[in-house]
Structure formats: C-alpha cells, structure tokens
Amino acid sequence: MLKTLRAGLEEKRDLLLGALKRDLGKPPREAFLSEIGVVLNEIDYALSRLRSWTRPRRARTPLIWLPASSRVVPEPKGVALIIGPWNYPIGLLLTPLVGALAAGCPAILKPSEDAPASGQALESFIGKLFPPEIVAVVRGGAQAAEILLQEEFGHVFFTGSQRIGKKVMAAAALTLTPVTLELGGKNPCIVDESAVLGPSARRIAWGKFFNAGQTCVAPDYLLVPSRLKAELIDNLKAAIDSFYGNDPRRSPDYARIVNERHFQRLLGLLKKGKVAAGGESDAASLYLAPTLLEEVGWGDPVMAEEIFGPILPILEYEDLETAIEAVNSRPRPLALYFFSGNRRNRERILAGIPSGGACLNDTLLHILSPRMPFGGIGASGVGGYHGQASFATFTHFRSVMVRSFRPETGLRYPPYPGKLSGLGIIRRLLR
C-alpha cells in the first residue's frame, strides 16, 4: 500500500499541484516541498524501517512466573478517520495516512471543504489507487464530519483549529475512540542581542511568509530587544524584497489567502498597530502582502488569536526573563523559535518555555524530519506523529505472555494465611 501511494504521488504530482494552485495560489516548488515531497520522504522512511517497527519484541518475564515467555506485539488499532485542514490540504492528510497504512489500518480521509479543488483531486487520486475498503475519501462540510464521528473508529486524527478540535475530541469521547489533535497557537519568535540579524531575518521571513503565513507552525509574533528593533525591521524588509521583489503581488513564489472570509478577518487585524512594511491587499485575487506590524500591544486583536496569515506583529522586550514571562502568560504554543548566539540563553529559553516543538536559529525545519515526532502540548495539541511516531499513533502494542502448565504452586491462590510472609522476596521476583 505504501509503494502504491508513492508511485501514485510520482505519477499524479501535476494533478495535485494544479489543485493546490487553484485553492491557495501555491507556487509549484513550495507546494511540492510541503505537500508532496514531505509525504514521499515519510513513505521512504517508513519502508526502510517497517520490518523492525512491526516485529514483535521480546520482554523479560518476572522470575516468579517462569517458565514462561513474554512479548509485545504491534497490532493495527482499526479503521482510522483522518480529518485534514485547508492550509496544506494534501500533505496533512497523506502524511498521517502513511502512518495508518504502515500500522495496517484502513483509513477514511475527510478533506477540508475550504480547499475544494484539492479535495476533488484527492478523491480522484485515492479512488484510482485503492479500493474503498482500504482507503476512502469522504468530501463535504461540517455535517459530513459530524456524521463520520458518530461511528466507532480505531483512531481519529484531526488537524485544524482548537475550536473544532474540542468538538472532535468531545464526539470521539462518546465512542471512547482515541484521538490525535494537531492544533495550533501563537508561536513566539524571540531574538536576543547575540543573534546575527541578517540570516535571522531571512529565516524568520521565510518561515512566516511561506504559504502566505497559513502554516500552523509559522512564527506568529516577534519579540525583539528594543534597541535592535529598527535594525531587525530593516533586515526583514530586505529579506522580503529579496524573496518576492518590490511588488510581491507579481511574484510567482507568493501564495494567496484561501478565501474571502479569512481575507477579511486578516484585514481586520491591521486596524490597530502601525504597518512598517507591506499592508497592500487586493480582494479580487485574495492577495495580502507580507506585512510587518509594529507598535502592537499584548491586548490588540492581532495578539488575541492565531493569525494564520502574512502579518508579523513585532513587540519589544527589555530582558529575557520578561520575554519568557510574557510568552508563558499565554497558552502553550505548538512551536517556539529563538535566535541567539548565546548557548546559555538558548538553554534558558528551552527550560523556561514549554512548547510542542522548538527550533533554534531557524524556523519550520524541525517538523520536516521523520526522525523526530511532531505534536503539540496543552492547547496546541494532543499526541504526535511523523516517522515511527506515526506508526505508533495507529498501533496497539499488545502484551502477550505464554506460560507452561507446570510447575503449579498454590502460593497465589486463597486461602492466603501463611502464604504472604515472604512478600518482600515476592516483590523482588516480580520485577
């Protein structure tokens, strides 16, 4: 099944890239990297390790139960329901599908109705690769998801907003179905005085404006020492200009906002604060320029919710402890970014700010490795996936012990008087 999926992705990449262009204006190379290339990488990693992942593992049997043997057997949880988002409508459905297939689970894929071209392409793509009893695609709106969630699944995997994630978890609880929730949050990006501003600005701008900022792990706001703010803004402007030219609207490498509703929501976030760069928009093409926003307060609308768009608020701090306290006054983020040449400061940030994942001196890259699990903490998510963690998500690890009929002792059976005097020895034998 994994080899079939891989061959299909290679063959139909243009079909999928075309759908992503229609839904989000995604540049082909950016779309391939984040929607198809990452899935191919996950498939190759799983194929190279599947034999070891699925092999039963011997476990030590406590001396008191000998002669016996013990093992842990990986088994499929059952049919998986994978509900995807609109921002990466192909990649964030197929990446968890790799884990489900690796674990031996059939799957139902529910694409987002906000990316209709991608959903239609995915339905056609999957329908030609797999019989519906192995992988099926169910398109539709919120009602379709609600109907699906009434059924009993082996596992439910959801990527999307915190608001909908709560509904998914509540619905799954009615059937006691385990869930993975990949949500989001306001991911802080902190720069200290030891950072090299040129490379830092380019890496921040790339991570923020990739897919026009519509990425769950994009830097959501920037914290910078007061005396460095002007210089960092200049470097960010230079990075944006080098990426997209002086008119990003004409750049073939800059995406668009997914729909009118999100476009208007983002425009509303610009009503407070001062635009330091960008701010231009075009409703007809759902274009919003890469925008830097300064003179922002913690209570402003842009800081009240996850932005999910190409707007980067820039706030100042006086010392690192103040920055840590400000970040920790908000829900735990999905990603944490810190730019610093000071090793002690890097360790202080990692120790002081809990997050789903972290990347130091760069952005986004930590989620691209199948060797590391990706997932949230607290309000930013439940569970994780990628690589072996994906396999584990859709797997039940069954403990099996096989005992001999002989010898048979009466120590564990009633009546108990006189049999528990060596309790300390028994506890040691049970280890």
Cα(407)–Cα(413) distance, integer angstroms? 14
CB 278 within 8 A of CB 292: yes
Q: What are the phi and psi torsion angles at 83 (to 5°)?
A: -105, 120
CB 223 within 8 A of CB 323: yes
DSSP letter assigned to residue 415: P
The one catalytic residue among 30, 182, 294, 306: 182
Strand partners of residue 337:
189, 359
Tokens representing residue 228 in the block = 């460095």
From its phi and psi, is residue 270 left (phi > 0), alpha (psi between -120 and 50) or beta? alpha
Cα(335)–Cα(384) distance, integer angstroms? 13
Alpha helices in 245-333, H assignment, sequence order? 260-269, 320-328
Across the beta sheet with 395-403, what order do the strands follow? 57-59, 68-76, 395-403
CB 110 within 8 A of CB 184: no
Which residue, 204, 189, 177, is CA-closest to 80?
A: 177
Q: Kindly write down the DSSP assignment for every residue of 316-349, as one continuous string.
A: EESSHHHHHHHHHTSPPPSEEEEE-S-HHHHHHH
Which residue, 203, 215, 202, 204, is CA-closest to 309?
A: 215
Tokens representing residue 213 in the block = 């900022």
| Catalytic residue status for 182 | yes
Residue 407, CB-side half-sphere exposure with 13 Å CA sphere: 5
Which residue, 24, 33, 9, 252, is CA-closest to 117?
A: 24
Alpha helices in 25-138, H assignment, sequence order? 28-31, 38-54, 91-103, 116-129
Cα(17)–Cα(32) distance, integer angstroms? 7
The one catalytic residue among 105, 189, 216, 359: 216
| Catalytic residue status for 216 | yes
- The catalytic site residues sit at 182, 216
